[in-house]
Every structure is written in C-alpha cells, then in structure tokens.
Copies of this chain bind each other. A is one copy, B any other.
C-alpha cells in the first residue's frame, strides 16, 4: 500500500514538475525576448496549461496518496518526509479554501493590476482603492479558512512566504530596527560627506557595463555550463534545478552602478540555486522556496561582500581599466563611499542598505493594521505619509512616489514585504558566523569568491528546501534568528563610514 501510494505520488510529481519546467521557460521567454504581439495568445495558452496543472494537483488519487503518506510519514525516508510535509501543507492551504473564493481572488487580483498601473500613472489612489479594499477583505476571509492551532491571523500569511515566521518574531525585529536605526539615520542625514560623487551620472556605455558584469560573474564563479545571463526590464533569477540557472540584468547608461549591484544580487540568488546538492534533484526540494532565506543570499553577496572595502580594493582597478575615461580621477575611497552613501529617500527599490529596512518596516506595520482592521484602505495614504515623515524624516509629495509605488498589494501579496528586511538580517547573522571560520579580508578580497561560496554552500545552499530556514540559521550560526547582528553590522559600518563616534 505504502509503495503504491509512493508510486502515485512520484509519478504525479514528475508531471507537475514538467509543467513547472515549461512555465519557467515560457516565462523566461516572455521576460527576455518574446515579441509583444505574441503575448495575448500566450496568456491564453498559459491559462490552458495552468488548468491542466490544476487538474493534476486536485486529482483525487494524488491528493489521497499525499494524505496517506502524510499519515504514515514516520515510515518514509527523511528526504521524502520533508517533501511530503511541504506538499501536504501547500495542498491543504489550497484545499481548505472554497474553490469559488480562489477563483474570485484570481479575478480580483487580475483586475487590480491594471487598476494599480492606472492609479499610479494618474497619481490617483481612488482608482486603486476599491480593488485594494476587496483584496484586504478577501485576505481576511482566506485567513479564517487557513488558521490552525499554531497559526492565527497575519501569521498565516507570513508563514507562507517564510516558513516559521510570525508577527511576534517580526515585531521584535522591527522594534529593534526602529530603536537603533531611526536615530542613526537622523544623525547621518546631518553629516557632511566629502567624497567625489558626481562621476556616477556620466555616460557609461552599455557594452562596457556588460563587460564588467561578465567579469563579476567570473569573480563569483558562476557556472555558465549550467546557466546563462541576459537582459530584461527588471533583473530576476529563474531556475529549473541546479543545472539550469538563469539571471537577467538591466543596463542604464547614466546609472552604471545599478547594473553592477543588480548583477551581484542576482548572482547571489543564482549561486544559491547552483550550489544545491544533487541529492535533491527532481524532488520538490531542489530549489529553496523560503523567500527571506533566498534573499539573504542575494543580499549577502550584494551588500556584505559587494559593498565591502575589501571587495573593491581588489576589483576597482578592473572597473577603472574598463571605464578609464569616466573614472579617471576617481579614487577607491570615492567609489567605496559612493556605493555606501546613506540617504533618506522615497522609493524602496532605490534605497540604500541602511534606510532600506525602514521602508519595509512601514509596509509591515500597515499590512498588520489593515488586516487587523485598525485602519481602512481609504486612509492608507495618510498613514503612509505619516510613517515616512516619522521614520525617514521626509515629506511624500504624492501617492505615486508614496503608497502607489509597489505592485505587491495589487497582486494580493500580503506578508511578502517583511521577507526583504528579514533576508538582510539573516545575511548579517551568517556574516557574523562566517567571520569565525574565514579571514574576511582574504575571502572578500580574493580574485574569485571561492571561500565565500564554499562556506555558504556548506552551511546554506546545499540544503535547497530540505531544511527549514530557522534550522539552517541555527545550524550555521549556532543560534536562532537574532536581529542584533544586523543592527550591529549596520551601526558599525555606517558610524565608521560617516566618522561618527
């Protein structure tokens, strides 16, 4: 019986993964090269494939086999135990919701997207307001179906994006950030910064930016036999297991550091994907689905390594060689300080390492307030602007640069934002542990980041989705998630950068 159920499970998993493979390639094509005139038809085709995929997920024989295996989970090997645990959890979270509710949610979010675009374009929140109101109502309703003994309210959503995270943990995290970072940011905003900064907006030809991006890929040891990089409107990384890992970048002639740090960021995701153990090939564990854990790796490479003095001490000469003309009179010190400048700003995606988590904190607070009914959607712009004034000290001139800037809520993604800040915090905790094993000056300043890659493979990457993020963190760093490392890291780094006592 057990064998039989296992066979059904494995056979269906194989089919589901084949569909996912097709989705990934089609999506990659859409984002990187498909002709615009092909996209209308394409969304119809994706609809047909999705419905075949759903038929397979809800196939009674498959559902029964998952339930049976879950009931006899102690009889399975460890790998399959973890797999069934995850599959069962995902399946339940869909099966618990009435089908009509799921369909309505997909209709509502499909309409909310264009409404958000229109509202943003016209700087008119009221166009988006009714859609968001309905989304919040529906999220609340969904939560009532999904609550368990362990997970209540907002926790249900937080756990979907990062297994094991709760309001309680996030609250502690953001409280600490608020306490330590808000005063530091105020202090810094009054400092002088006597470095050359004006070089950054010269013209940097795209071809040369690409040359440096390829150099960075070599430094990070990206394996082009099992991956590739390309251009797209928004940089992203996409994987179909460790043998086919793809990333994109975007190049602006008048803002060249964007492509450098996007490249390092996406290569961070890609390195994670490429370094997962072959043990998990073809299983649902071959790619990490914990958002914050994945983000912790991209941010580790982007910020902790990629904005370190050691890294640029090694690689700035190459950058200068490629951009002789533009960087002629720019020193390593200038460049290092430019890429680490802190400044209170309006747009999350353009924020620096120090102010970034406060953008997230504001969103987290507002999501929680909306879902608990403390505030209403119609008052969101007021609360948004108030928070930006309070924590970042800036006035939001309009909703376009304020509450309408991000697409997430229009897609019904509540609980997603906090993983961004959490990822950075994880990365600092990993950094603290890494320092005990590696000579950071050597590792970050190396010609190739072999030692950094190895440490992260050993402690994080190899596990894919096999271990829970909290266990990875604990095993790698010796303790549970502790936000103090992140705060310490930021405070030390920025006090030093700004010559503060």
Interface residue ranges, A against B (CB under 8 Å): 14-15, 17-19, 21-22, 25-26, 28-29, 33-38, 40-42, 45, 48-49, 52, 223-228, 230, 240-241, 243-244, 281
Please measure, in the bound complex, the distance between the C-alpha atom of A408 and the C-alpha atom of B34, giving whole angstroms.
Answer: 31
In chain B, what residue has the closest Cβ to A274? B37
Query: Known: A28-B29, A29-B28, A29-B29. Contact between A22 and B49, CB under 8 A?
Result: yes
Q: Would you call B35 and A227 a contact (CB within 8 A)?
A: yes
Is B36 touching A225 in the complex (CB atoms < 8 A)? yes
Task: Return chain B residues, CB-CB under 8 Å to A243.
Answer: 35, 37-38, 40-41
- Give 16 pairs: A residue, B residue, CB < 8 Å, sorted on A: A15-B48, A17-B48, A18-B52, A21-B45, A22-B25, A28-B29, A29-B29, A34-B228, A35-B224, A35-B226, A35-B244, A36-B225, A37-B226, A37-B227, A37-B243, A40-B243
Task: Identify the closest chain B residue to A241 (Cβ).
Answer: B41
In Å, the complex CA distance between A25 and B27 comes to: 10
> What is the chain B residue whose CB lies nearest that of A50?
B18
**Residue ID in chain B nearest A11 by CB atoms:** B48
CB distance from A454 to the nearest CB of B (A): 20
B33 touches A228 (CB 8 A): yes
Residues of chain B with a CB closer than 8 A to A36's CB: 225
Residues of B within 8 A of A45 (CB): 17-18, 21-22
A417–chain B nearest beta-carbon distance, Å:
32
Query: At the interface, is chain A mostly helix, strand, loop or mixed?
Result: helix
Task: Tell me which residues across on chain B come within 8 A of A25, comparing CB atoms.
Answer: 22, 25-26, 29
**A239 CB to nearest chain B CB (Å):** 10
Q: Which B residues are in CB contact (< 8 Å) with A38?
A: 226, 240, 243-244
Q: Of all chain B residues, which has the CB nearest A228?
A: B35
Question: How far in angstroms is the closest Cβ of chain B from A56?
Answer: 9
Complex interface: chain B residues within 8 A of A33 (CB): 228, 230
A227 to B33 CA separation, bound complex (whole angstroms): 10
Q: What residue in chain B is nearest A28 (Cβ atoms)?
A: B29
Q: In the complex the two chains form, what is the Cα distance from A18 to B244 in whole Å?
A: 23
Q: How far is the CA of A35 from the CA of B225 in the complex (A)?
A: 5
Q: How far is the CA of A241 from the CA of B224 in the complex (A)?
A: 32
Q: Please name all residues of chain B whose beta carbon is closer than 8 Å to the beta carbon of A241 when the two chains form the complex.
A: 41
A17 to B33, CA, bound (A): 21
**B-side contacts of A34, CB under 8 Å:** 228, 244
A223 to B21, CA, bound (A): 29
Residues of B within 8 A of A227 (CB): 35, 37
Nearest B residue to A27 via CB reads B25
- CA A33 to CA B29, docked complex, whole Å: 11
Given A243-B40, A243-B41, answer yes or no on A15-B226 (Cβ-Cβ < 8 Å): no
State A25–B281 Cα separation when bound (angstroms).
23
Q: Pick the 4 closest A-B CB pairs, nearest first.
A: A38-B244, A37-B226, A18-B48, A22-B22
A227 to B243, CA, bound (A): 29
- Contacts A37-B223, A37-B227 known; 8 new A-B pairs at CB < 8 A: A18-B45, A21-B26, A22-B25, A22-B45, A33-B230, A35-B225, A38-B243, A41-B244
What residues on B are CB-neighbors of A26 within 8 Å? 21-22, 25
Please report the C-alpha to C-alpha distance between residue A241 and residue B485 in the assembled complex, in whole angstroms: 55
When A40-B243, A244-B41 are in contact, do A15 and B225 touch as well, CB less than 8 Å?
Answer: no
